[in-house]
Amino acid sequence: MKFMLMMHAPRGSGEYQINAWKPEELRAHIQFMMDLNKGLRAAGELVGAEGLAPPGQARIVRAQGDGSPEVTDGPFAESKEFLVGYWIVDVESAERAYAIAGEASTAPGPGGRPLGIAIEVRQVMSGPPV
């Protein structure tokens, strides 16, 4: 079963509060993520994982009547959280996906304290039966 684990960060007073962290705090956070991904890869569970650019760089694209793309700023400036990264994992059960999300949620933040960051877990839909 494939699941997408989406890490959401609070918007707070800026787009990326992580930019205000001390360099050693940022290094510890990145090392935690690299170690998590290494373990998932070794277990054969990691399909893919990426961090995302800040929301200020995001754009919304919609097809116009002639099919050409219309690109606008976005998304949703009023949102309280934004997506900062994701994993796609292939695991035996939803419970395993939840366990991975729980581990990811403990990523260290300022002072080395676990962030307790929200991780949304959603099953990746499979195609219709053949």
Structure tokens given for 8: 């959401």
Q: What is the pLDDT of residues 107-127, one digit of tens each?
A: 999 999 999 989 999 999 987
Positive/negative CA dihedral, 50, 33, 99, 118: negative
Q: What type of residue is 81?
A: E
Banded pLDDT at 20 (limits 50, 70, 90): confident
pLDDT at res. 95? 97
> What is this structure's pTM?
0.84
Q: What is the CA radius of gyration of the chain?
A: 17
Q: How far is CA 40 from CA 59, 74, 106, 110, 114, in A?
A: 31, 32, 16, 25, 20
- Using the predicted structure, report yes or no on whether residue 39 has a pLDDT greater than 90: yes
Alpha helices in 6-119 (DSSP H): 23-42, 94-105
Q: What is the pLDDT of residues 56-71, one digit of tens each?
A: 788 889 999 999 999 9
Rounded to whole angstroms, the Cα distance separating 62 from 124 reads: 24
How much is the average pLDDT of 9-16?
A: 64
Q: How far is CA 39 from CA 26, 54, 74, 93, 110, in A?
A: 20, 27, 35, 17, 24
pLDDT at res. 126? 83
SS3 58: coil
Give the fold, CATH level 3, of 2-123: Alpha-Beta Plaits (3.30.70)
Q: Which residue has the higher pLDDT, 79 or 118?
A: 118
- Using the predicted structure, report yes or no on whether residue 23 has a pLDDT greater than 80: yes
